[in-house]
Amino acid sequence: MTAPQKLCAPECLQAGRVSSRFLTSLVVLAGLLATVCLAKPASAIEAGMPNPPASPTEVTCGLMILDVIDIDDVNESFEAEVVVLAEWDDPRLAFDAEAEGVDRKIFQGDFQFAEVFTGWWPQLLLVNEVGAADPSAVKIEVYPDGHVRYLDQHNAVLETPMNLEDYPFDSQELQVQLVPFGDVTSDVVLTVNETYADATEDFVSRNSTVNVAGWELERVVFSTDTTFLNRTTIDRQISRLTATIHLKRRSWQLVWQMLFPLLVIVSMIWSIFWIDIDSLGDRLNVAFVGVLTIVAYQFVVIDNMPRMSYLTFTDMLLLVSFVTMSLTIPQSLVIYGLVRGGEHERAKTIDHACRWAFPLSYMALLGLIVTWYAVS
């Protein structure tokens, strides 16, 4: 009886091992089948940012101009420190303040904004911004009822058309245009937040450093409308908020630096009317020096002005000054011709009359220019 037991034990052990391996294989196979059956189709897309909470979602916005750093007349652009403020309601983010132990949830800084906050937010884009400027500060606040408050601060260089017809006595309306990037009006609608509408004016009144040198910031006006990218997408309207910054140029510095020297140069050319009528060479030398000076002066002014299809107040002033100074050349030639013809008295009479005619005509033309641009 003992011998048969010893022979049977190895066989039983081998059979047990085979059964264990078979069961393990079945479990692995069952797991693979379950994974295949429960797996998503290959064409499925992983969920990303949630959709807007409503159709459309109303986003109340404001733009606060903390500082106008620079205004470039030549390139028709300006640099400003801008704060974008936006608020909207997202019931999906509502929470129990007592259970959470906080009255609001704050996400601030690039990491928390991009990695920790998982809710939806409108990507507000400054459409007339030159280049891409990373925000220097960003913050999102979520309140228990799902109300969301967004703040974004950065320096931006923005292009805007300028009307320089009255330069240097002009006022400008610089625009900052804000749109929700990628969202049409059926998704997001921008409205003006009246709470922030007067924030810039109040900030300017309390901080005199806001005004850029040579300009005075008067007010900021907000408006909303709709736009589209091109005519092929005219049915895809985009909500747009525009902040118009009204500035007035402080012109007295330019008057003393540019216009007053011009008047002095023009008046100096009239000294030829007191030069002897027989000295044609001396008279022409003074006249040509004056003309060349006004030409060089005009190049200096042009370098500081953008290329435009119209004449500014300064252009007209330079043109009238150039013509007035140039007329002294034919006047000297006529006077010298009369002298050579023996008509000394007539030459003197005409020359003496020009001492008053040229200045009075010049002043009259300046008056007409000022009146024209003041009325228009």
Each domain of the chain, given as residue ranges in start order, spans 57-250, 253-375
Q: Is the pTM of this model over 0.75?
A: no
Q: What is the tens place of the pLDDT at every residue in 103-121?
A: 999 998 888 887 888 889 8
SS3 for 14-48 is HHHHHHHHHHHHHHHHHHHHHHHHHCCCCCCCCCC
Q: Which of 66, 52, 250 is nearest to 176 (CA)?
A: 66
Strands (E), the chain: 57-72, 77-89, 105-108, 124-126, 137-142, 147-159, 171-180, 188-192, 215-227, 238-249
Q: Please enumerate in sequence order all residues whose Cβ is within 8 A of that of 248, keeping only pairs 6 or more positions apart, or say none.
A: 171, 215, 216, 218
Residue 240: predicted pLDDT: 92
Helix (H) / strand (E) element for 89: namely strand 77-89
The predicted-structure confidence for 200-252, as pLDDT tens digits, reads as follows 666 666 555 556 777 887 778 888 998 876 655 566 889 999 988 888 888 88
Residues 6+ apart with CB under 8 A from 288: 329
User: At which residue do the structure tokens 């409205």 appear?
Assistant: 191
pLDDT for residue 45: 38
For the stretch 268-284, pLDDT in tens is: 888 899 999 888 899 99
* Res. 294: pLDDT tops 80: yes
The pLDDT assigned to 357 comes to 93
pLDDT of residue 24: 59
142-191 pLDDT, tens digit each: 999 999 999 998 888 999 888 888 888 888 888 889 999 888 888 999 99
Under DSSP, the state recorded for 129 is B
Superfamily per CATH, domain 253-375: Neurotransmitter-gated ion-channel transmembrane domain (1.20.58.390)
H/E run at residue 228: none
For residues 51 and 116, the answer to whether their CB atoms sit within 8 Å is no
Q: How far is it, in rounded angstroms, from Cα 186 to Cα 189?
A: 8
57-250 belongs to CATH 2.70.170.10:
yes
Pairing relation of β-strands 57-72 and 188-192? Answer: parallel
Q: How far apart are CA 275 and CA 348, in angstroms?
A: 11
